[in-house]
A = this chain, B = another copy of it.
Amino acid sequence: MAAIDTRQQIVEAADDLFYSAGFVQTSFADIAKAVNISRGNFYYHFKTKDEILDAVIDKRLADRETLLAKWDETADDPVQRIICFIRIVIVNQSKIMAYGCPVGTMTAELAKLNHPSRTRANQIMALFRNWLQRQFGALGFGKDAELHALHVLGWSQGVASLAQAFGDEVYVRREVEQITDWLHEIAVTGRRIPSST
């Protein structure tokens, strides 16, 4: 097998395991077993666990950029784009209920570890924030675009957190409805801070 394929398989397996089991809890052996290669082979591609983490973060960044670019193309209305984001919590509901938000949980874990790559992991979160901010900007919000972006991003983290804790589908659906209503409301009103969240 070509080295690049092996490397890619390792990163994909690590990505999955870091998500489902966490970074600390996932061992070299776990990843090697998932890809069905020897530890020696593994070491050829990644010298340290931190190197794998960086590769996983790079992949996640790239994946999310691709996703956002797709939304930019397929939906030409900013409101519809933001709704694409909102609906992630429904589209990925089962995984979120089991493992939480991949971005949020990794951010939280690396923060507790005070891990060097903590900052890079936060960039994934920032990627969404900046994209959302651009959408709200396109809707005519100036200074408030960032606050709205953070509001929607924080909303998604909160929903993911409770979805994981309680596994309540009705709650998720209701929250999606509420924030969607809010979005339509402020999109029409425009350029003002909503009186309620």
Contacts and interface: CB of A to CB of B under 8 A. Distances in A.
A154 B161 contact: yes
B122 A112 contact: no
A113 interface: yes
Contacts of A125: 162, 165-166
Tell me the interface secondary structure of chain A in the complex: helix
Tier of interface size on chain A: 35 or more
A122 B48 CA distance: 35
B194 A175 contact: no
B154 A162 contact: yes
Copies of this chain, whole number: 2
Interface stretch (A5-13, A20-28, A29-37, A56-64): A20-28
Nearest to A99: B112
Interface stretch (A38-46, A74-82, A133-141, A179-187): A179-187
Nearest to A171: B150
A113 B25 contact: yes
A67 interface: no
Instruction: Determine which residue in A104, A174, A193 has the highest number of CB atoms from chain B within 10 A of its CB, and name it.
Output: A104
A69 interface: no
A31 to B, nearest CB: 16
The 4 lowest CB-CB distance pairs between A and B, nearest first, are A158-B158, A182-B196, A154-B158, A157-B161
